[in-house]
């Protein structure tokens, strides 16, 4: 993945990166929120407040992206990051290994 930033789009690029990072943190927050919820450690009132806060965050980020014309930029950076992560995860849990092991078992 290459994040191309030249002088002309430097500001836009940086802003895009920042918002992308904010979105990733948002994902982490949602992830944790669901875990808390599933773990049963949140009261109903806490869940309500958490939910509302996340909604506000969602709309604030969406608004910034819209206003700054960053929708496409962020989408592209995230797409690139996803590609990098998938590639990496693939290396660890490549199904090839799974089936190679099964094949060996069958041969023995």
Partner 1 sequence: MEPTRDIHGTLSDLLDRILDKGVIINADVIITLAGIPLIAVSLKAAVAGMETMLEYGVMAEWDERTRADARESRKQTVPV
Partner 2 sequence: MNNHNEHKHGRYVYCVAESVETINLGAIGLDGNEVYSVLADGLCAVVHDCSAEAYASEDEQTLHRWVINHQDVVKAASERFGTVLPMRFDTIVQDTEKGSVNDNIRRWLTEDGGSLRSRLDRIRGKEEYGVQISWDPKRIAETVSSTDPEIKQVEEEIRGKSKGLSYMYRLRQDKLLKSAMEKEAEDRFKDFYHRIEGCVDEIKVERTKTGEERPMLANLSCLVLREQSAYLAKELEKINSMSGFFVRFTGPWPPYSFVGVE
User: Site residues (CB under 8 A) for partner 1?
Assistant: 1-2, 24, 28-29, 31-33, 35-36, 46, 49-50, 52-54, 81, 84-85, 87-89
- Count helices and strands (H / E) in the chain: 4, 0
Cα–Cα distance, 71 to 49 (Å, whole number): 28
Mask 5-44, x = binds partner 2 (CB under 8 A)?
-------------------------x--xx--xx-----x
Q: Half-sphere exposure of residue 37, counting CA atoms within 13 Å on the CB side?
A: 14
Residue closer to partner 2 (CB basis): 54 or 64: 54
């Amino acid at each position: 993945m290459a994040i191309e930033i030249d002088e002309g789009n430097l500001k836009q690029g940086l802003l895009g990166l920042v918002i992308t990072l904010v979105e990733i943190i948002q994902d982490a927050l949602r992830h944790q929120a669901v875990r808390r919820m599933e773990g049963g450690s949140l009261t109903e009132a806490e869940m309500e407040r958490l939910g509302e806060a996340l909604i506000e965050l969602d709309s604030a980020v969406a608004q910034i992206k819209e206003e700054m014309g960053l929708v496409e930029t962020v989408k592209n950076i995230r797409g690139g990051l996803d590609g990098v992560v998938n590639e990496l995860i693939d290396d660890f849990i490549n199904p090839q290994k799974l089936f190679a092991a099964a094949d060996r078992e069958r041969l023995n």
